[in-house]
Amino acid sequence: MDRREFLRLTGLGAGTLMIPVIGAPRDLFGATTPIPSADKKALADAALETARARGASYADVRIGRYLNQFVITREDKVQNLVNTESYGVGVRVIADSTWGFAATSDVSKDGVKKAAERAVAIAKANAKVQTDPVRLAPQKGYGEVSWKTPIQKSSFDVPIQEKVDLLMAVNAAAMKAGAKFVNSQLFLVNEQKYFASTDGSWIDQDVHRIWPNFQVTGIDEKTGKFQTRDAMSAPMGMGWEYLGKVPPVSTLGTGLWANTYDMLADATAAGAQVKEKLTAKSVEPGKYDLVLDPTHLWLTIHESVGHATELDRVLGYEANYAGTSFATLDKWQSKSFKYGSPQVNIFADKTQTGALGTVGYDDEGVKCKRWDLIKDGILVDYQKIRDQAHIVGQNASDGCCYADGWNDVQFQRMPNVSLAPGKAQMTPQELIGKVEKGILIVGDGSYSIDQQRYNFQFGGQLFYEIKDGKLGAMLRDVAYQSNTQEFWNSMVASCDERDYRLGGSFFDGKGQPGQISAVSHGCATSRFNGVNVINTERKI
């Protein structure tokens, strides 16, 4: 997570009103019951009619109520309970073959009509410098439909006291096990999104996400050295049922969980491991075979495949900010570009249960699906939205359009992008058993990649030496540097579906003005041969 994104979301950077609050969530929001669809339909229709009357050839309206709850603690104190509620409408139009957008928090008939008028005026002003008319892939209207994240228990229905008690217990467990400091947080999100378009869709969606997280710090008071260890949780498209007491699915170096997360057990492990990190052996730089746990590998997938196969980046739409991509159209058209080894199968899927990017329909009214991006190591497709499909000779969107609020214009965002597990039966222990000189990396750490997604450097949370097939001592100061194509071609094996787990980003940034989105990446523990490992220790 980018610090600035975190600060923006929690408001900590602004130093404003970060005061602990506790109470019943329904008292706090009074908004967890969605607004009736009929009310939203009447408003949306008013905006669509205005846009059409002003000359728009296409229009869509998104009426959104966005609820967030952040519980923020350290050691034995609840530092903040932040509740945000934002309600408004965004109107997007095509007029004179050019996009225009306007958003307002005045969700009245007059307010939405005015927004529609402004959006059309903007489109017409911009049409004068437009030489490439907007062309939308055809999309049928779905009529009035709805979708909800398949949660068992809404996090917003859980009393604040239960959340505070959980984090206080987590902090106490980490301290008892050896941590000097602990910060823990719960991030809870509910997006109530209503979409309507001139194609004849009125789509009501209720989206839920959760991320329990912590960071523990260990300090060697004699030397002044400090180390941290982050939670092994994944942010999920789930409700409160994600938190529970279950045995881990894997125990490589630490307890690792899949669809239920035992935060207390993880905190206990973290307290002990952060102490161990203080005295761990500093890594000898060189080439190693890397065994990457899903808690780590999701981020490498995200950066080196997820972003690289976004069609807007490939085409140059993001050139001024996030960058372009090495996975250019000629490579895709050749049907022979070896993105990775034949073991590498990477797919996009916005229907995967529990994943952050899973919804019924995207933010331009396209039903979500699953498709291949890399098949048997070959680049076979990209991630597309409606106004891009024609550029690559296709006539349908992949359903990848998203806006992070009512006030932001929707654009192409990454779907869940995952590495398919290996077909042959293999456990992580069996995978490690074949490695002579390697390092096991668990958890995500520092991450950086160039603007075309070639050169990257990743750290991690926990590093263990592998010698002659056996897991050995803990290491520190580890980071690996590689090139995307070289790295994915060095993948020799992936464990089977029993080890398949999701990781993800709650705060993935892209676009101007900057927007965030949440996206998951699944994979099983995988092996990459001969990767360059550097030592990151310095003296100041």
Partner 1 sequence: MTMLSKDEAQALLKKVIALSKAETCEANLNGNTNGNIRTARNNVTTSGVQDDLQLVVQSSYGKRAGTTTINELDDASLEKAVRRSEELAKLAPENPEFMPPLGPQQYVDAPGWVDATAKITPEYRAKGAADSINPSKEKKLVAAGFLQDFFGFQAMMNSKGLFAYYPSTNVNFTVTVRSEDGTGSGYAAADANDVAELDTAKTSGVAIDKALFSMGAKAIEPGKYTVILEPAASVGILQFMAFGFDARQADEGRSFLSKPDGKNKKGEKIVDERVNIWSDPADPRAPTAPWAGDGRPRNKTMFIEKGVVKNLYTSRYWAEKTKIEPIPFPANMIMSGGTASTEDLIKDTKRGLLVTRTWYIRMVDPQTVLVTGLTRDGLFMIEDGKLTFPVKNFRFNESPVIMLNNLDALGKPIRFSDGDGFGGGASLLPPMRIRDFTFSSLSDAV
Site for partner 1 in 127-146 (CB under 8 A): 128-132
Within 8 A by CB and 6+ apart from 453, the residues are: 303, 304, 307, 308, 323, 325, 326, 327, 484
Applying CB under 8 A, which of residues 146, 341, 483, 490 lies at the interface with partner 1? 483
d(CA 292, CA 304): 15
**Binds partner 1 by CB under 8 A, chosen from 447, 472, 474, 530:** 447
In degrees rounded to 5, what are phi and psi of residue 101? -145, 140
- Rounded least distance, CB 21 to partner 1, Å: 4
**Which residue reads 């009426």 in tokens?**
63
CA distances from 533 to 38, 244, 276, 484 (A): 58, 36, 21, 15
Which positions from 299 through 318 interact with partner 1, judged by CB under 8 A? 315-318
Residue 490 in contact with partner 1, rule: CB under 8 A: no
Report the half-sphere exposure of 219 (CA within 13 A, side-chain side): 7
> Do 428 and 422 form a contact (C-beta atoms < 8 A)?
no
236 is an interface residue for partner 1 by CB under 8 A: no
Q: Taking CB under 8 A as the rule, does residue 53 contact partner 1?
A: no
Which residues 450-469 are close enough to bind partner 1 by CB under 8 A?
450-455, 457, 459
Locate all alpha helices (DSSP H) within 99-254, ordered by sequence.
Answer: 109-127, 160-177
Residue from 33, 143, 221, 393 touching partner 1 (CB under 8 A): that is 221
C-beta closer to partner 1: residue 38 or 129: 129
Pick between residue 352 and residue 517 the one whose CB is nearest to partner 1: 517
CA distance 103 to 406: 7
Interaction between residue 395 and partner 1 (CB under 8 A): no
- Interface with partner 1, residue 279, by CB under 8 A: no
**How many residues of this chain bind partner 1 (CB under 8 A)?**
103
Which part of the chain contacts partner 1 (CB under 8 A), choosing from 143-151, 420-428, 432-440, 476-484? 476-484
Query: Residue 419 and residue 494: Cα distance in Å, rounded?
Result: 9
Query: Which CB atom, from 262 or from 303, has the smaller least distance to partner 1?
Result: 303
Does residue 260 bind partner 1 (CB under 8 A)? no
**Amino acid found at 510:** K
Query: If binding is defined by CB under 8 A, does position 97 make contact with partner 1?
Result: no
By CB under 8 A, residue 339 contacts partner 1:
no
Nearest distance, CB of residue 529 and partner 1, angstroms: 19
Q: Give yes or no for residue 148 binding partner 1 (CB under 8 A).
A: no
Report, in Å, the least distance between residue 402 CB and partner 1: 13
**What is the Cα 135 distance to its own chain's centre?**
29
Residues paired with residue 448 on neighbouring β-strands, in sequence order: 457
